[in-house]
Amino acid sequence: MNSENTSSDSGEASSTQEASSNNNDHSAIDNIEDDMKRTAARKLIEQYFYQLTEGCGNQNCKNINCASSGELKPMTPNEAAGHALKLFSQEAKLCERHPSKIARTNLPSKSNTQNENIGGICSIPSNDTIISQSSKDGTKSNNKYSSASVPSFLTEEALYDIIDECEANDSYSPLIRTIGEVFSSIENLSRSFAQEPFSPSSTPNVENPEQVSGLNKEELRHLEGEKDKDEDSCANISKNVILPLDIASLRRAYNALFKLKTSIFENSLINALVTLAGNLQMELPTRKDTDNHDDIVNVLLIVFEIPSLGLGDFIDTALPAICRASQWLPVEVQATLARMWAGPGRTNIRNILQNLQQLITTRTYGTPFHRDFFIQDENVITSATKLVKILYYGNMLAGVLESPSLRYTDEMSDSMDESFLAVKLKKNITPEDPLAKILGIHVLDCRKPYLPFNEFYNEPLSDLVEMDRDFANYKSELGIFSGKFSFMNYPFILTPATKTMGLYFDNRIRMYSERRISLLQAVSGHPSPSNPYLRLKVRRDNIIDDALVELEMISMENPNDLKKQLVVEFEGEQGIDEGGVSKEFFQLVIEEIFNPDYAMFTMQNETQTVWFNPTSFESSAQFTLIGIVLGLAIYNNVILAVNFPMVLYRKLMGRKGSFEDLLDWNPVLYSSLKQMLEYPDPNLEDVFMQTFRISYQDVFGTIINYDLVDKGHKIPVTQENKYEFVDLYADFLLNKSVEKQFRAFYKGFQMVVDESPLEQLFRPEEIELLICGSKNFDFDELEKSTEYDGGYSNESQIIKDFWSLVHAFSLEDKRKLLQFTTGSDRVPIGGLSRLKLVIAKNGPDSDRLPTAHTCFNVLLLPEYSSKDKLKDRLVKAINYSKGFGML
């Protein structure tokens, strides 16, 4: 920048001022540009200042305006500041800094009164341990670190200096003492690696004649304005101010530190972290909510950036101590930490998560749990889980979020059909998580997290946790006050299969409660005691009408009966329902409901998914009953062969469909709209020829037109309104066009699951797994988990032949085998190993077909004389067997 440029800038500013009366927006932009120019100028002046006072660090420097050249006489700070301004105006040469020399705003020493307050403006408290980088001849000074000169806090530059000093003297005592002093103290560590503001000490004092000699009036006026701003900005700076952490600088510093042999400083760092954790544990409980917690945030950010935190003694000693201390973090600090990990620290999210997961896993495997000491009692595991929760929310904030306005509100239950107004939903609304409330986020808002959600699962923990105990803690009325910990309040860390067990306990307890009420009514002589079960008697050839009529009567008379255990009886059949009959009942109902003849749902040809028919003639009551069936399947732990798009599960969890949901609802349409959004040229109207009127077909193939806005057929889609068109189009297809059908469906679903922790435990993707089961037909898993009875073992020849045949089956035949042996052709959540199939001997060789107890997943297999005979009988059994008879 030269005087001509300065003059030009001034002219531009003058022109802007003349135009500001007509356009305030332009004025605001110009002001921002002026601020940016001033900031850039100050940075250059600062570089000249340090070049004059400290040099560039190159002993062979030839720049006469650099202290490292040896040709520049020593200057006082005031003289250097004035000369720096002149060099700036002349665009003098700037040296390249030594890699370890980074311009800093702290002054070398508080003891030097000249440096405390240059020019009378203000000074930032200095690090009194920083050693002068150069002397007159460009070499390092002879200052040595002693026990009295250990830094009170660290900067990137100071750490480089210490490492250089230690390497030069072949003694690492200063580094070890520094690490111990800084990393053991909340105050010292919180002030380390800060984003230091520009120090006004490098700005010449306009009241000092020595500094302003040779400056013109324009430069003087500029400095007067800068002085006023500096005085305002520095008025409140003191040694107690905690500046934001410079994460980039911190990572460079760690990189330099860990290039050394870790054995040099590892013990010192670990011991310091343990001491730090103790200080945190004493400090945090005594803090008030109104206190400033910036120091705690900085401390935790610095600690969790340590590269080896998940290794060796760090994970054995230091990390557990930090986790135990962190459980006392106020929710406001947790929110700030989540935001920092979502922002500047996002690239380290995976590393932090892996360290915490490793700690949880090692403690899970290494702790001898017993009847008096459960995994929920292990403080390191529970405190680490609480930290993972903060990271979980930070992971969502760092991902792709959608507007909270797409969440459903209580309006869902305010405008139901009048025929159902008498039914009162007892929805147990889970209290909003305080951390989520402060952050203003919900898991449904996260379209795509920074890391996949499944990386937060901890399988060893999920396999070991006793869900009956965990559920008891979760439901305990005194749990909040007694400090009882439940992983059900941290569902992100549990696998879907483990969470299903928690939901199962909740459902079963409610079923048993209904049975006790019925028993008490009968014992007390109640004139009409209620049935302890939800009994349905249906005809196989008229299953839909029979089931829906009975469910409609129950839902209108006493919807609480829907929460009883389902018992199904097929008229004319002798099967006793211990679970298997219900499984077939649900399968048959689903097959009929989605039959195109009913026209309640339509098939999406591209994805083979089903969706509500917006022009269906069926009443809302029919859709309500379908919702009841879906809820009953979840409530009774039955997997259904349904194929809904993901948007349905998101809507069931309380979020409206949006444009991104079209991707798996109708990929072809999504691709077309995406192409429109990405089209850059202004002739979009001519290329796509689309208006705000759309068309769709009813069940009879009739084309129906719909205007997304008033007189939409007259409004073309342009570059200016294309986003509005896409949002309205998606909203119509996924929400408005099926609003009546979905409301009824949603109400029926909520009649059954309204009091369960379903929404708290599961995300939409997990709800699909819960309803539809896994898509992984791994029969190797099934073979490994199968048990044998009646004389069979895995070494029996017929068992070897059986698995040889099964592994050679087609996928369709494997489904039929599952249907035959378990009553469902779906894979349960968690995989086929969860089925616990039992193959029992059913007599010697005979012509009988294999049979099954589907309620208990037991296959009764005669000991056939040959593999061919086994194949013939097994194939016939799985293809032609249907119904329930006496075995």
CB atoms within 10 A of CB 62: 12
How does residue 94 score in pLDDT terms, banded at 50, 70 and 90? confident
Whether residues 250 and 390 fall in one domain: yes
Whether residues 730 and 754 fall in one domain: no
- Across the range 672-693, mean pLDDT stands at 92
CB atoms within 10 A of CB 190: 23
- Provide, rounded to the nearest whole percent, the portion of the chain with pLDDT above 90: 36
- Our CA dihedral for 164, 169, 170, 171, rounded to 10 degrees, sits at -90
How big is the chain, counted in residues? 887
The count of structural domains within the chain is 5
C-alpha–C-alpha distance, residues 149 and 750, integer Å: 68
How does residue 115 score in pLDDT terms, banded at 50, 70 and 90? very low
Non-local (6+) Cβ contacts of 455 within 8 A are 350, 353
Within a domain: residue 565? yes
- Across the range 353-378, mean pLDDT stands at 91
Q: For residues 822 and 837, is the Cβ–Cβ distance under 8 A? A: yes
Within a domain: residue 472? no
Whether residues 693 and 670 fall in one domain: yes
Whether residues 631 and 687 fall in one domain: no
Question: Which of 24-28, 51-55, 611-615, 760-764 bottoms out in mean pLDDT, i.e. has the lowest?
Answer: 24-28
pLDDT in tens, 136-184: 333 333 334 444 467 788 999 999 999 999 999 999 999 999 999 999 9
Within a domain: residue 411? no
Q: CA angle, 230 as apex, 226 and 236 as ends, to 5°?
A: 165
- Across the range 817-842, mean pLDDT stands at 79
pLDDT in tens, 475-512: 875 444 456 899 999 999 999 999 999 998 888 888 88
56 is catalytic: no
Most confident of 3-7, 629-633, 882-886: 629-633
Residue 749's pLDDT is 92
Whether residues 580 and 708 fall in one domain: no
Instruction: With a cut of 50, say whether residue 219 has pLDDT above it.
Output: no
C-alpha–C-alpha distance, residues 9 and 12, integer Å: 5
Whether residues 554 and 697 fall in one domain: no
Residue 820's pLDDT is 84
How does residue 699 score in pLDDT terms, banded at 50, 70 and 90? low
Residue 138's pLDDT is 34
User: Which one of the listed residues 66, 166, 772, 855 is annotated catalytic?
Assistant: 855
* Pairing mode, strands 838-841 and 787-789: parallel
Report the chain's mean pLDDT, rounded to a whole number: 78
Owner of token pair 């030069």:
168
Structure token pair of residue 550: 């009975």
How does residue 882 score in pLDDT terms, banded at 50, 70 and 90? low
pLDDT in tens, 431-477: 678 999 999 999 999 999 999 999 999 999 999 999 989 998 888 75
Instruction: With a cut of 90, say whether residue 188 has pLDDT above it.
Output: yes
Whether residues 583 and 691 fall in one domain: no
Residue 723's pLDDT is 94
Residue 643's pLDDT is 86
Nearest of 507, 512, 518 to residue 558 by alpha carbon: 518
Owner of token pair 């008030």:
288
CA 560 to chain CA centroid, nearest Å: 36
Residue 143's pLDDT is 39
How many Cα atoms sit within 13 Å of 521 on the Cβ side?
13
Residue 518's pLDDT is 81
Within a domain: residue 480? no
Instruction: With a cut of 90, say whether residue 408 has pLDDT above it.
Output: no
Residue 575's pLDDT is 59
Residue 615's pLDDT is 85
Nearest of 729, 665, 727, 671 to residue 695 by alpha carbon: 729
CATH number assigned to the domain comprising residue 727: 3.30.2160.10
Instruction: With a cut of 80, say whether residue 689 has pLDDT above it.
Output: yes
Q: For residues 250 and 306, is the Cβ–Cβ distance under 8 A? A: no
Question: Which of 17-26, 353-362, 621-630, 818-827 bottoms out in mean pLDDT, i.e. has the lowest?
Answer: 17-26
Within a domain: residue 93? yes
- Across the range 385-400, mean pLDDT stands at 96
User: Using only C-alpha atoms, what is the Rg of the chain?
Assistant: 36
CB atoms within 10 A of CB 25: 8
CA 338 to chain CA centroid, nearest Å: 10
C-alpha–C-alpha distance, residues 102 and 43, integer Å: 12
How does residue 430 score in pLDDT terms, banded at 50, 70 and 90? low
How many Cα atoms sit within 13 Å of 331 on the Cβ side?
7
DSSP single-letter state for residue 492: G
Domain end among 384, 401, 418: 401
Domain that holds residue 223: 1-128+200-239
Whether residues 791 and 761 fall in one domain: no
Whether residues 643 and 670 fall in one domain: no
Most confident of 194-198, 312-316, 430-434, 835-839: 312-316
- Across the range 565-573, mean pLDDT stands at 83
How does residue 827 score in pLDDT terms, banded at 50, 70 and 90? confident
Burial zone of 289 (CB within 10 Å; 0-12 exposed, 13-18 middle, 19+ buried):
exposed
Residue 413's pLDDT is 44
Instruction: With a cut of 60, say whether residue 248 has pLDDT above it.
Output: yes
Nearest of 103, 113, 109, 106 to residue 78 by alpha carbon: 113
DSSP string, 813-867: HHHHHHHHHHS-SSBPTT-GGGS--EEEE-SSS-SPPPEEETTTTEEEE---SSH
Within a domain: residue 462? no
pLDDT in tens, 843-870: 888 888 888 887 678 888 988 989 889 8
Beta bridge partners of 858: 838, 853
Q: Which long-range contacts (CB under 8 A, 24 or more apart) does 49-54 make?
A: 49/80, 49/81, 49/84, 49/202, 50/103, 50/104, 50/202, 51/94, 51/95, 52/80, 52/83, 52/84, 52/87, 53/77, 53/80, 54/101, 54/132, 54/133, 54/134
Question: Which of 48-57, 224-233, 585-594 bottoms out in mean pLDDT, i.e. has the lowest?
Answer: 224-233
Whether residues 594 and 545 fall in one domain: yes
Q: Where are the alpha helices (DSSP H) in 542-642?
A: 543-557, 580-593, 620-635
Domain end among 357, 378, 401: 401
Whether residues 176 and 322 fall in one domain: yes
Burial state string for 418-441 with b = 16 or more CB within 10 A and e = fewer than 16: eebeebeeeeeeeeebebbebbeb
Q: Which of the two residues, 68 and 690, has the higher pLDDT score?
A: 690
Whether residues 190 and 77 fall in one domain: no
Instruction: With a cut of 80, say whether residue 567 has pLDDT above it.
Output: yes
Domain end among 363, 381, 401: 401
Within a domain: residue 341? yes
CATH number assigned to the domain comprising residue 638: 3.90.1750.10
C-alpha–C-alpha distance, residues 65 and 137, integer Å: 14
How does residue 388 score in pLDDT terms, banded at 50, 70 and 90? very high
Whole-prediction pTM: 0.73
Within a domain: residue 416? no
